[in-house]
């Protein structure tokens, strides 16, 4: 709910200031929920000390009713080897950085039913709303807002690809078929990419780079992500950045900022994500509930999108 979301503005980034105010207006965020910080020069990664100061600055301005935090900027998106959203919500796990391919600490919010994560679990969920382009950010926000108006006929697409090592979560793909009450058709495919599909609500795959995104149509509220090592390195070029999903029309995504190896637990669980989204959770809630070990991950997009929430 808007009243339970804090919006963090980087006053050193004019785009952050402009996009955050637009978001406040579009989503009816109370003025007292706007939190102002200063991060100079848009670093990709923060040190532990820098992050500790940032978190203290944010937390000092939050009341007990705030359940989630939206950081309005594209960078920083990492803290040491952790994603910034995970570091904020779970606490920084510096020990993981000695060997990033080891298992990470489990999230108490994985597949949870708790409606208020901070009240119930002491966790404030975090998401990043990229703001490098003011116009793209406004368009993204518009998709999130539009997702609440109606439930469209849609498709959920799950691809097992030729990059076999990136298929570790294919075992959890929902069974193909029609969910009539949600007007959703589930598709399982053996393919490296979708092409020309125009009804996407969910697209999950495993590829270092996903082709043909420019041929696709994503519906308002669409969730999309790819299992690869560095999708959360938002400015990286060795693999596809998760930003490409938002640019293609998705409303939220997820990626890891450091080498996670292909543990399925470090990526969104397809069945868990779909179940919670279809049950009416927001994009923020459903994505957070879907990742068992999220320390290395960064959640990005418009957090309040909820195409299946009942009025």
Tens digits of residue pLDDT in 116-135: 999 999 999 999 999 999 99
Coil, helix or strand at residue 28: coil
Q: Cβ(107)–Cβ(90) under 8 Å?
A: yes
> What is the reported pLDDT for 214?
98
Tell whether the torsion through CA atoms of 205, 193, 302 and 278 is positive or negative.
negative
28 domain residue, yes or no? no
Is residue 191 situated within a structural domain?
A: yes
Read off the tokens for 238.
């060795």
For residue 311, being part of any structural domain is answered with no
Query: Does the residue 41 lie in any domain?
Result: no
Q: Is residue 311 predicted with pLDDT exceeding 80?
A: no
Tell whether 176 is covered by a domain.
yes
- Token code pair at residue 61: 């301005």
User: Can you tell me the distance from the alpha carbon of 37 to that of 31, in angstroms, rounded to the nearest whole number?
Assistant: 15
Distances from the Cα of 234 to the Cα of 26, 119, 131, 132, 208, angstroms: 25, 31, 12, 11, 13
Q: What residues does 190 pair with on adjacent strands?
A: 160
Determine, yes or no, domain membership for 63. Answer: no
* SS3 of 89-147: HHCCCHHHHHCCCCCCCCCCCCCCCCCCHHHHHCCCEEEECCCCCHHHHHHHHHHHHHC
Give the count of domains, the chain. Answer: 1
Place of tokens 């500790």: 52
The tokens 């990709």 sit on which residue?
A: 44
In whole angstroms, give the CA distance from residue 241 to residue 226: 9
Q: Is residue 241 in a domain?
A: yes
pLDDT tens profile 209-263: 999 999 999 999 999 999 999 999 999 999 999 999 999 999 999 999 999 999 9
**Cα dihedral 18, 252, 280, 85 sign:** negative
Q: What are phi and psi of 217, to 5 degrees?
A: -120, 115
Per-residue pLDDT, 217: 98
Q: What value does the mean pLDDT take over residues 103-115?
A: 95
Structural domain containing residue 271: 152-277
Q: Are 231 and 224 in contact (CB under 8 A)?
A: no
**Residue 145 included in any domain:** no
DSSP calls for 247-299: HHT-SEEEEESS--TT-GGGS--HHHHHHHHHTT--HHHHHHHT-SS-TTEEE
Q: Is the pTM of this model over 0.85?
A: yes
Q: Which two tokens stand for residue 300?
A: 């990005």
Q: What angle do CA 276, 68, 281 make, to 5 degrees?
A: 15
Tell me the per-residue pLDDT of 67-77, one tens digit each, with 9 for 90 and over: 999 999 999 99
pLDDT of 79 above 80: yes
Tokens of 127: 């998401």
Q: Say if strands 177-179 and 184-190 run parallel, antiparallel, or are unpaired.
A: antiparallel
């Amino acid at each position: 709910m808007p009243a339970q979301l804090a919006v963090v503005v980087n006053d050193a980034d004019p785009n952050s200031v402009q996009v955050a105010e637009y978001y406040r207006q579009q989503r009816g965020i109370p003025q007292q929920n706007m939190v102002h910080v200063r991060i100079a020069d848009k670093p990709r990664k923060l040190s532990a000390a820098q992050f500790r100061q940032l978190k203290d600055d944010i937390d000092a301005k939050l009341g007990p009713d705030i359940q989630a935090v939206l950081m309005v900027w594209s960078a920083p998106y990492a803290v040491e080897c952790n994603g910034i959203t995970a570091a904020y919500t779970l606490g920084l796990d510096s020990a993981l950085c000695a060997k990033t391919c080891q298992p990470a600490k489990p999230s108490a919010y994985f597949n949870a039913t708790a409606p208020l994560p901070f009240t119930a679990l002491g966790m404030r969920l975090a998401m990043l709303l990229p703001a490098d382009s003011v116009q793209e950010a406004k368009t993204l926000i518009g998709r999130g807002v539009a997702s609440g108006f109606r439930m469209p006929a849609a498709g959920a697409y799950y691809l097992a690809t030729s990059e076999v090592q990136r298929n570790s979560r294919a075992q959890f793909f929902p069974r193909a078929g029609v969910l009539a009450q949600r007007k959703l058709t589930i598709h399982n495919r053996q393919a490296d990419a979708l092409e020309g599909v125009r009804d996407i609500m969910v697209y999950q795959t495993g590829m270092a780079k996903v082709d043909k995104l420019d041929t696709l149509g994503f519906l308002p509220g669409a969730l999309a992500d790819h299992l690869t090592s560095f999708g959360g390195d938002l400015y990286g070029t060795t693999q596809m950045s998760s930003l490409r999903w938002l640019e293609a029309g998705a409303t939220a995504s997820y990626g890891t900022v450091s080498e996670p190896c292909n543990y399925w637990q470090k990526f969104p669980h397809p069945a868990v994500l779909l179940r919670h989204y279809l049950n009416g959770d927001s994009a923020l809630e459903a994505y957070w509930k879907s990742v068992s070990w999220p320390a290395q991950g960064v959640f990005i997009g418009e957090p309040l999108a909820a195409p299946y929430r009942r009025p």
